[in-house]
Structure 1
């Protein structure tokens, strides 16, 4: 299990595209949206929005919501273990945040939408904020009215990180080299997470 709040916050910050799931009267339902850490808190509270009618489908604010955050993951070949009996596996880092979300006011939702745009525009050559021309207030307000903002302070958190911690340092080096190679399973983001996990001495 991964319980370090700072590591879980880092996971959410770097992997904002999440899966939202709930159990409705007709069975399980899922949606996919970007979320942000609540910038007024230092815990695992997240903020985001859904488009209508996903708020009703998910029972937003009424039923428990499960938010799945998926970090880098990938196939690990048994050939990287050397001449020993072995089977393939999959390395990954993920977190599940559960709780009943709070519905944001229209003003709070606008602030979250503004933050979301800025979060992803900031790396553009010419960032374009939500309020910049040719957008005007009427346009922004009309789009925002089709969304419902939420804040989730999870009542339960399950974080998992599987990075070949049970293997020797030499084998981990070989796996990282394989992930950084030019083969079919090249995966630099996973290699980076494996290096980080080893430097931090994590167990899970």
Structure 2
């Protein structure tokens, strides 16, 4: 991933935050000699050394992925930035975003590996609302076992992780403040999140760098 130094997300804690909050990821690997991708939710292991998830057995990507180094992309918040928000409009629009890339090797899990069932429980716990009455543990075990035969669990080692937070750091403090103010008025969650990220990452610093692309 192309990351100018002033957009680099260096904190592992912040990169893990992106994985936690935006866990629906894209896994890219080689399948039958061509690149292919699957979109699915992943969880960060407790020791933060692995990602855990499962493929549908009908998805042929799993058949030759074991041992491969794959690229996993977690797309965080992103939104359009209008020049109309600037102090002068003699410039062009851009897009602000936060993303994390992970490179690592895939290990497929046996059907009886307890990590497969636990990952399903953890996913349900994570995404169900706190007041939800749904409990995966009370679903008929026979039904769960039948469904489990239709999936392939896996882990991905986190061998390399890098993050990018393109948040107008190469603009003036005045301009950053204007953009934050405009984004804060929006109802869209992406724009609200970008405003928060900009307040955290862009306002504390002033960078005098020549714009050299996104």
Bin of the TM-score, shorter chain as denominator length: 0.7 to 0.9
Query: What is the Cα deviation at residue 202 of structure 1?
Result: 9.9
Q: Deviations for 1:84-131, whole angstroms, at most 9, x for unmatched residues?
A: 53111111010111121122233220111111111111x242341212
Verify: 1:126 aligned to 2:135, yes or no. Answer: no
Verify: 1:160 aligned to 2:164, yes or no. Answer: yes
Q: Distance in 1 between matches of 2:206 and 2:35?
A: 34
Secondary structure of 1:13 counterpart: helix
Uncovered stretches (5+) of structure 1, i.e. residues with no partner: none
Under a length normalisation based on structure 1, what TM-score does the superposition of the two structures give?
0.86
Uncovered stretches (5+) of structure 2, i.e. residues with no partner: 1-7, 208-214
Q: Structure 1 residues 36 and 97, CA, compared in 2 at 3 Å: closer, same or farther?
A: same
Q: Tell me the equivalent position of 2:4.
A: none
Query: What is the Cα deviation at residue 50 of structure 1?
Result: 1.2
Under a length normalisation based on structure 2, what TM-score does the superposition of the two structures give?
0.83
Q: What does residue range 90-109 of structure 1 map to in structure 2 within 5 Å? A: 90-105=95-110, 106=112, 107-109=114-116
Q: Tell me the equivalent position of 1:75.
A: 80
Q: Distance in 2 between matches of 1:184 and 1:136?
A: 39
Q: Could you list the runs of 4 or more consecutive aligned residues of structure 1 that deviate by over 6 angstroms after TM superposition?
A: 183-186
Q: Tell me the equivalent position of 1:46.
A: 51
Query: What is the Cα deviation at residue 12 of structure 1?
Result: 0.3
Q: Tell me the equivalent position of 2:178.
A: 174
Secondary structure of 1:142 counterpart: helix
Verify: 1:28 aligned to 2:13, yes or no. Answer: no
Q: What does residue range 136-151 of structure 1 map to in structure 2 within 5 Å? A: 136-151=140-155
Q: Distance in 1 between matches of 2:180 and 2:115?
A: 43
Q: Structure 1 residues 183 and 144, CA, compared in 2 at 3 Å: closer, same or farther?
A: closer
**Which of residues 172, 190, 195 is equivalent to 1:191?**
195
- Provide the alpha-carbon RMSD of the alignment: 2.5
Query: What is the Cα deviation at residue 180 of structure 1?
Result: 2.1
Count of matched residue positions in the alignment of Structure 1 and Structure 2:
198
